[in-house]
Copies of this chain bind each other. A is one copy, B any other.
């Protein structure tokens, strides 16, 4: 194929993007491709929603039939191919087959992901017609073009790159702005590497995902199309897995999750909710999610209000047992609640942190155990309401 190798992707991986015409706006890339010369191992995790985009069923089927080997990942934005019935699934399969023929591989080695408006048939002909251009030298190339082509309501492309001590690359590319927009749906995360994945890539991906994308919430909603993919281009997959790989993948995925929170609809602040002193890590995440999805916590951050009461009250209704009289709430470095009482003398410092810093730290120590976890979110603004109230009408 005449696609160049890109220095912004792991070795052996090439990327391209074109505008195929699903999205009407001019100069708006809406079809992206990641491709290797040989089929390489991948693993995927999907939304837990019962409502599934067509690609979820087909991806599951393809990965199962290919033994987890993937040659190409195609992504369109602008149409989620969801609530489109069996016809939507057939549409997905047709595109996979066409791309497989073009690049010379079995159809099950092609994954085709969709994100965008739900309930409308995918304009398959436009996608099919664009495939020759997409795999030619005339497409736009590189990870950045691909990252751009998968966006919907996101304002900025999201790429994170890190190197393993041995020189291998990990590149993460993501999209997502609200956790769901049933019109412009979906969070995608692509974790790409040229390091071998070892024997259990799905287990590795689950572990990474649990500590990154699973700890992100913009509005608490879940898309029918959410997909996170781990894919390695390494030729020597029999080689032992670099023990650092999991750590670096987790770091890359966490950075992507934080970028998604920063780009949350209407967001003006990235919020890290840090729960300490929890009975176990799962409990810490439960408390963190409850705080991070509370509209009152999120509006307080938007108002730069060091409102310890809303943080404590959200934790106290999370279902995790702790004694509020022993808990401590910290905003930035300022302890605003301790030993059952507010600490009003520290609220000024907390308020300054919320005013001046773009990243806000809301921490609660439950004094109920040794575990801790971070959850990321953004503030809730009147702009969020406007974006989501005015979206279709």
Report B-chain residues with C-beta under 8 Å of the C-beta of A302. Answer: 385, 389
Report B-chain residues with C-beta under 8 Å of the C-beta of A304. Answer: 393
Docked-complex contact B388 and A295, CB < 8 angstroms: yes
A314 to chain B, nearest CB (A): 7
Tell me if A21 is interfacial: C-beta within 8 Å of chain B. Answer: no
Tell me if A342 is interfacial: C-beta within 8 Å of chain B. Answer: yes
Docked-complex contact A321 and B50, CB < 8 angstroms: yes
Kindly report which residue of chain B lies nearest to residue A382, judged by CB atoms: B382
Picked from B119, B224, B385, the residue with its CB within 8 Å of the CB of A384 is B385
Docked-complex contact A49 and B313, CB < 8 angstroms: yes
A178 to chain B, nearest CB (A): 7
Docked-complex contact A392 and B221, CB < 8 angstroms: no
Picked from B313, B337, B382, B384, the residue with its CB within 8 Å of the CB of A222 is B313
Docked-complex contact B182 and A307, CB < 8 angstroms: yes
Docked-complex contact A219 and B296, CB < 8 angstroms: yes
Given contacts A221-B294, A295-B221, A388-B300, contact A50 B317 (CB under 8 A): yes
Tell me if A299 is interfacial: C-beta within 8 Å of chain B. Answer: yes
Tell me if A11 is interfacial: C-beta within 8 Å of chain B. Answer: no
**How long is the Cα–Cα vector from A25 to B351 in the complex, in angstroms?**
26
Q: Which of A52, A313, A340 has the most CB atoms of chain B within a 10 A radius of its CB?
A: A313
Report B-chain residues with C-beta under 8 Å of the C-beta of A344. Answer: 119
Kindly report which residue of chain B lies nearest to residue A303, judged by CB atoms: B389
Complex interface residues of chain A between 96 and 153 (CB less than 8 A to chain B)? 118-119
A117 to chain B, nearest CB (A): 9
Complex interface residues of chain A between 276 and 317 (CB less than 8 A to chain B)? 293-296, 299-300, 302-305, 307-310, 312-317
Docked-complex contact B388 and A385, CB < 8 angstroms: no
Kindly report which residue of chain B lies nearest to residue A120, judged by CB atoms: B342
**How long is the Cα–Cα vector from A380 to B386 in the complex, in angstroms?**
10
A282 to chain B, nearest CB (A): 16
Docked-complex contact B183 and A307, CB < 8 angstroms: yes
Given contacts A48-B317, A50-B317, A307-B182, contact A340 B85 (CB under 8 A): yes
Docked-complex contact A51 and B393, CB < 8 angstroms: no
Docked-complex contact A49 and B316, CB < 8 angstroms: yes
Docked-complex contact B385 and A313, CB < 8 angstroms: no
Report B-chain residues with C-beta under 8 Å of the C-beta of A181. Answer: 296
A147 to chain B, nearest CB (A): 25
Docked-complex contact B219 and A317, CB < 8 angstroms: no
Report B-chain residues with C-beta under 8 Å of the C-beta of A49. Answer: 313, 316-317
Kindly report which residue of chain B lies nearest to residue A340, judged by CB atoms: B85
Kindly report which residue of chain B lies nearest to residue A84, judged by CB atoms: B341
Docked-complex contact B83 and A342, CB < 8 angstroms: yes
Docked-complex contact A303 and B384, CB < 8 angstroms: no
Report B-chain residues with C-beta under 8 Å of the C-beta of A388. Answer: 295-296, 299-300, 303
Docked-complex contact B221 and A312, CB < 8 angstroms: no
Picked from B220, B351, B386, the residue with its CB within 8 Å of the CB of A382 is B386
Tell me if A223 is interfacial: C-beta within 8 Å of chain B. Answer: yes
Docked-complex contact B389 and A385, CB < 8 angstroms: no
Picked from B182, B313, B341, B389, the residue with its CB within 8 Å of the CB of A224 is B313
A122 to chain B, nearest CB (A): 14
A247 to chain B, nearest CB (A): 30
Tell me if A325 is interfacial: C-beta within 8 Å of chain B. Answer: yes
Report B-chain residues with C-beta under 8 Å of the C-beta of A185. Answer: 309
- Ordered by A's residue number, 9 sampled pairs between the chains whose C-beta atoms are within 8 Å are A49-B313, A85-B325, A85-B341, A180-B313, A220-B293, A221-B313, A300-B392, A302-B385, A380-B385
The 4 closest A-B pairs by CB, nearest first: A182-B309, A303-B389, A382-B382, A51-B316
